[in-house]
Amino acid sequence: MSQSANPPRHPRPRALGRLVPTLLVPTLLLAACTASPAAPRTDATPTTTAPQVTGPLCAALPTGTDPGNPAFLASQPVDQALRWIPTLTTFEAALRTSGVLTDLPAGTGVTVLAPSDDAFAATFSEDNWDDLMTHHTDQLRTLLKAHLISGTHPIAELTTAGTATTLDGSTVTVTRTEPTARLGDRADTICADYQATNARIHIINAVLGPLPVTADGTGHRAH
């Protein structure tokens, strides 16, 4: 058989045995001097939790992993977050049509007191609301600004302060009425403390501010 067919030659075990003690001791000493201590285990390590929303309507809104759940909305800009909340279709459309949110300086936090669809249905007829949206933009913008507060304020912070000034210049009283909060003499929170990027959203059950003359309270708005 030719020489190329021979198996490769390996070092003899006894030669390796002589090298190991010589190399191993300095290596272990070096590792002992340079190794960083292990980070201690602690139960105080921060964890990411979903925002806690409160109020009687919350159970009927998306939760857990449902589309539009509070944890998902916390990563969305406020205009997109509002579109994911099923009961705010009227308010969201009005904000989008009026452009009020785009008037806010970039990076400005905002607290949104968002009337539910039922709140608008109890205040405007369908024809009157459509007329306000189409022909009375200035009145619409003033109405919407009565539902916006500069800065991001949890509902507990607003109740502690006792009052808040909305972007239309009005002052609204805020009082705790467990498990909700009362805004002025007209509205209650029904699902408070949604978070969005640089925003807080509190869903309320009535329309705030000085109502336009088109508000007739007939309650005939279509959903």
Residue among 168, 172, 194 nearest 112 (CA): 194
Alpha helices in the chain (DSSP H): 13-34, 70-73, 78-84, 89-98, 117-121, 126-135, 137-145, 155-161
Position 211 in a domain: no
Residue 109: which CATH number? 2.30.180.10
Residue 213 within any structural domain of the chain: no
Q: Which residues of the chain have pLDDT under 70?
A: 1-49, 213-223
Examine residue 35 and state whether it is found in any structural domain, yes or no.
no
Evaluate whether residue 107 is within a structural domain. Answer: yes
pLDDT, tens digit (0-9, with 9 covering 90-100), for 59-100? 999 999 999 999 999 999 999 999 999 999 999 999 999 999
Q: How many domains does the chain have?
A: 1
pLDDT of residue 7: 41
Give me the domain span that covers residue 164.
58-204
- Residue pointed to by tokens 């009927």: 60
